[in-house]
Amino acid sequence: MKILDKNSILDDIQTVATIGFFDGFHLGHKFLLNSVLDLAKKENKKSLLITFNENPKKFFKQNYDIRQLNTVDEKIEKLSNFGVDYCLLLDFTEELSRKTAFDFLNFLKKNFGLTVLFIGYDHTFGSDKIKDFVQIKYICNSLQIEAFKIEQFNVEDQKVSSSLIRQLIKDGEFATANRMLGYDYSFNGIVVEGQKIGRTIGFPTANIDVLPGKLLPKNGVYAVSVIVENQRKGGMLNIGNRPTLCGINRTVEVNIFDFEKYIYGQRITVEIKKFIREEKKFDSLESLKNQLFIDKNLITNFLKYI
């Protein structure tokens, strides 16, 4: 997949495109993008996905806390693996925010060979905030662009959306969130040094420095898989303030099962499978240790059957 920016030009290339932020690249997004890829192949054209470095909502509400399901790099990787030919990656700027639906579609037509546009059922276009598909189709037709609307995609009678998935993940509801994503939610980060107290009670942990814009679930203990040094290992993830140790800062640390290598400074990936329990303050390190044995046994048995 080739990454384009606002100054790129696709000469003598016709494209079939869609547009959106695509946070999480969930099953609804894949349903939409499959229509793009199928028609592009049928008509011998190139597929184009138009997206943004940051959620446009941040431009209009700069104090709006909307941590994302995917970093930009994660999203680009998923799109590339899906088989998209081109990704137009834009910054949502003041200049862009002033473009009407006609102006923006005309820009895509002239610079990126747009001939066919697929849009989601709830997409809003331009500074004139056009959401009615009849109006969008009329503008597209005036520019000799075909327009198609894709209806909402449901899983178990629930509408799949990035906002719903974000809420499910915040609440630790990973069975439903992962079904809607079509994959296990994950994050990655660099392993950094911590207080090293876990190793004194038999549960050494890798403390992970996670990008601040990445969405993490509520505090607690989780069953996870960890990808480290090209291996996949089971693990026990703890997110929280470590109240037993009188912690203040929120930490993200994982006990990797059957793994004892030195990995400080390395990047690891954690796939979250299931919420196990809430964070709890224990009376002593011994009580914490006993609970961690219970947690590990529960997680080990759970991971055997997935």
- Cα distances from 218 to residues 28, 171, 289, in angstroms, run 25, 6, 22
170 occurs within a structural domain: no
Residues 74 and 18 placed together within one structural domain of the fold: yes
Residues 54 and 124 placed together within one structural domain of the fold: yes
CB proximity list for 17: less than 8 A, separation 6 or greater: 36, 47, 48, 49, 50, 108, 112, 114, 116, 117, 118
pLDDT value for 6 = 93
Residues 12 and 149 placed together within one structural domain of the fold: yes
Are the beta carbons of 111 and 10 closer than 8 angstroms? Answer: yes
Mean pLDDT across the stretch 79-85?
A: 94
Are the beta carbons of 205 and 253 closer than 8 angstroms? Answer: yes
Looking only at the bridges linking them, the beta strands covering 46-52 and 15-19 are parallel
178 occurs within a structural domain: no
For residue 264, give the amino acid letter: Y
Domain that holds residue 24: 2-159
171 occurs within a structural domain: no
Mean pLDDT across the stretch 178-203?
A: 85
Is this structure's pTM higher than 0.75? yes
Mean pLDDT across the stretch 173-199?
A: 89
Are the beta carbons of 123 and 133 closer than 8 angstroms? Answer: no
164 occurs within a structural domain: no
168 occurs within a structural domain: no
CATH (domain of 232): 2.40.30.30
Residues 76 and 142 placed together within one structural domain of the fold: yes
* Each residue's pLDDT tens digit, 195-224: 666 666 778 889 999 988 899 999 999 999
- Number of domains within the chain: 2
Residues 148 and 26 placed together within one structural domain of the fold: yes
Residues 143 and 217 placed together within one structural domain of the fold: no
* Cα–Cα distance for residue pair 182/160, rounded to 1 Å: 11
Residues 142 and 276 placed together within one structural domain of the fold: no
pLDDT value for 122 = 85
Mean pLDDT across the stretch 230-251?
A: 82
Residues 33 and 151 placed together within one structural domain of the fold: yes
Residues 204 and 276 placed together within one structural domain of the fold: yes
Are the beta carbons of 3 and 76 closer than 8 angstroms? Answer: yes
Mean pLDDT across the stretch 138-148?
A: 96
Residues 189 and 248 placed together within one structural domain of the fold: yes
Residues 134 and 267 placed together within one structural domain of the fold: no
* Each residue's pLDDT tens digit, 115-130: 999 999 888 888 899 9
User: What's the pLDDT band for 282 if we cut at 50, 70, 90?
Assistant: confident
Instruction: Pick the more confident residue, 290 or 15.
Output: 15
Last residue of a domain, one of 125, 159, 193: 159
pLDDT value for 297 = 94
Residues 237 and 113 placed together within one structural domain of the fold: no
176 occurs within a structural domain: no
166 occurs within a structural domain: no
Q: Which residues pair with 111 in a beta bridge?
A: none
